[in-house]
Amino acid sequence: MQAFTQYTPTRIVFGKDTEHQAGSLAKQMGATRVFVIYGGGSVVRSGLLERVTTSLSEAGLEWMAAGGVKPNPRLSFARECVEKSKEFGTDFVLAIGGGSVIDTGKAIAHGTANPDTDIWDFWTGKQKVTRSLPVGVVLTLSAAGSETSDSAVLTDEETHEKRGMATDFNRPAFAIMNPELTFTLPKYQVGCGIVDICMHTLDRYFTKSEHNELTDEIAEGLLRTVICNGKIAIKDAHNYDAMSELMWAGSLSHNGLTGLGAQKDFAVHQLGHELSSRFDLAHGASLSAVWESWALYVYQEKPERFAQYARRVWNVREDDTEKAALEGIRQTVDYFKSLDMPTCFGEAEGVGVQSDETLHAMAHSCTYGGVRTIGSFHVCDEKDIYKIYKMANKNCKFSDR
């Protein structure tokens, strides 16, 4: 087990009707002027915005609300909100929504607390976040795990760069998690969420680090739980028990727990970000669209690890390591297909099969113009990335591997 620090300060308030506690929780945490941020309108239609802002008023807090965050949240919108928030004199940010809204909320908190810094400087690494405002979350989508994670992802729509930024200042102060708030999700978003939750653990699980039994068991148990409840949730988004398991798993999968003591990989996330920023593909779909190609490209680095995954997560009964490894990959891809999630470019909404020139451009951009590699299980440079994209660049709906 490698040395690690675990810092997960977020107060989790889980269960039915918990959104009514938003005001009292924010007040306990020192809020007086709350900037409420939300997305394209789902929280207005469901009445959630009204319930939450009522609870803020009842707690005696001043608030202003701004809607309009889009999936794959845009830098320019976050900048606009920072200006509004500065004018309002915000001392607490409350995000009501999924990962895109929460990440925009985190950006607003950093921008408001650092009025002389352009927020993108934090994402490009020019500046480090050394102070911010507290962010509370009312979660409406189990997926990104931003409600407890140390990360926030923004897209500069002018350059098509999608970047994550990690800092402990991104850890929310509280996360209100009422599974009933996810009942209104379209099936596609439920599917994207299931893939993303699995992938936050898989991107940690495929590591060369050894002797990490407890972390392995936690990761495998989480994956089995998500796979099983995902099958129920994709058919019935009103199943409280299944949606509860997904919601709790979504937070645990990305708060650091499932990779403690091991080196992280996260290549699949980086491969996916390029698809999302270029084609505005939903995050979860971008991950399922490249996972099989990544797995087939890298599994020979350590087939025993893939075989362990197959046996413990998918119950594969196969003594041969290579065959077990491949069976685990096949089962994962079949599962994604059963959720109607894309497993290649041809199936991915707004993507389709690309020219060779575009694949090269994507690989170049994924390395930030040739200045970085991605992953650690197999360190992928621009050539590797191109080859993985080429493997995924097909119509796979009716074809088999």
Which are the contacts of 293, defined by CB distance < 8 A and separation ≥ 6?
A: 344, 388, 389, 391, 392
Q: In what order do the strands lie in the sheet with 11-14?
A: 11-14, 174-177, 135-139, 92-97, 33-38, 62-66
39 binds ligand NZQ (CB under 6 A): yes
Interface residue with ligand NZQ, options 153, 247, 313, 316 (CB under 6 A): 153
> What is the DSSP pairing of strand 33-38 with strand 11-14?
unpaired
Nearest alpha-carbon partner for 168 in 152, 182, 150, 186: 150
The residue behind tokens 């900037």 is 35
* Shortest distance in whole angstroms from residue 98 CB to ligand NZQ: 3
Residue 103 binds to ligand NZQ (criterion: CB under 6 A): yes
Least separation in angstroms between residue 266's CB and Zn ion is 9
Q: How many CB atoms lie within 10 A of CB 49?
A: 21
Q: Match 């809204």 to its residue by tokens.
A: 101
Is 134 or 256 the residue whose CB approaches Zn ion more closely?
256
Give min distance, CB of 323 to ligand NZQ, in A.
Answer: 31
Of 32, 184, 225, 358, which lies in the binding site for ligand NZQ, with binding defined by CB under 6 A? 184
Cβ nearer to Zn ion, comparing 280 with 318? 280
For residue 133, give both structure tokens. 């405002």
| Distance (Å, whole) CA 190 – CA 182 | 9
* H-state helical runs in 30-142: 42-45, 48-58, 75-88, 99-113, 120-124
| Cβ atoms of 254 and 207 closer than 8 Å | no
The label of the residue with tokens 């797995």 reads 295
* Number of Cα atoms under 13 Å in the Cβ half of residue 42: 19
Instruction: Work out which of 147, 150, 161, 196 binds Zn ion, going by CB under 5 A.
Output: 196
For residue 288, state whether it binds ligand NZQ (rule: CB under 6 A). no
Pick the piece of the chain touching Zn ion (CB under 5 A) from 77-85, 189-197, 224-232, 303-311. Answer: 189-197
Which partner from the list ligand NZQ, Zn ion, none does 184 bind, CB cut-off 5 to 8 Å by kind? ligand NZQ
Site track 51-90 with ligand NZQ (rule: CB under 6 A), x = hit = --------------------xxx-----------------
22 and 52 Cβ atoms separated by less than 8 Å: yes
- Judged by beta carbon, residue 210 or residue 236, the one nearer ligand NZQ is 236
Tokens 């951009």 appear where? 365
With beta carbons less than 8 A apart as the criterion, state whether 377 and 325 touch: no
Quick one: what does residue 141 bind among ligand NZQ, Zn ion, none, with the CB cut-off 5 to 8 Å set by partner type?
ligand NZQ
State which of residues 12, 109, 113, 192 lies at the interface with ligand NZQ (CB under 6 A): 192
Q: Which two tokens stand for residue 285?
A: 């779909």
**To the nearest whole angstrom, how small is the minimum distance from the Cβ of residue 90 to Zn ion?**
27
Q: Is the dihedral of CA 279, 281, 287, 291 positive or negative?
A: negative
CB of 191 to Zn ion, least distance (A): 14
Q: Which is nearer to Zn ion, 103 or 196 (CB)?
A: 196
* Piece of 76-84, 93-101, 335-343, 345-353 that binds ligand NZQ (CB under 6 A): 93-101
The one among 21, 53, 55, 100 contacting ligand NZQ by CB under 6 A: 100
H or E segment at 11?
strand 11-14
Provide, rounded to whole angstroms, the least separation between the CB of residue 209 and ligand NZQ.
21
Which one of residues 30, 41, 89, 370 is an interface residue with ligand NZQ (CB under 6 A)?
Answer: 41
385 close to 271: Cβ distance less than 8 angstroms: yes
Minimum CB–partner distance for residue 211 and Zn ion (Å): 27
Please compute, for residue 264, the number of CA atoms within 13 A of its CA located in the half-sphere on the CB side.
Answer: 19
Q: Of the candidates 26, 52, 61, 143, which one interacts with ligand NZQ according to CB under 6 A?
A: 143
Q: Least distance (Å) from Zn ion to the CB of residue 320?
A: 32
Looking at the chain, how many residues does it have?
401
**Span from 180-188, 218-226, 297-305, 362-370 in contact with ligand NZQ (CB under 6 A):** 180-188
By CB under 5 A, residue 245 contacts Zn ion: no
Using CB under 5 A, list all residues that contact Zn ion: 196
Using CB under 6 A, list all residues that contact ligand NZQ: 39-43, 71-73, 97-101, 103, 140-141, 143-146, 149, 151-153, 181-182, 184-185, 189, 192, 196, 254, 269, 283-284
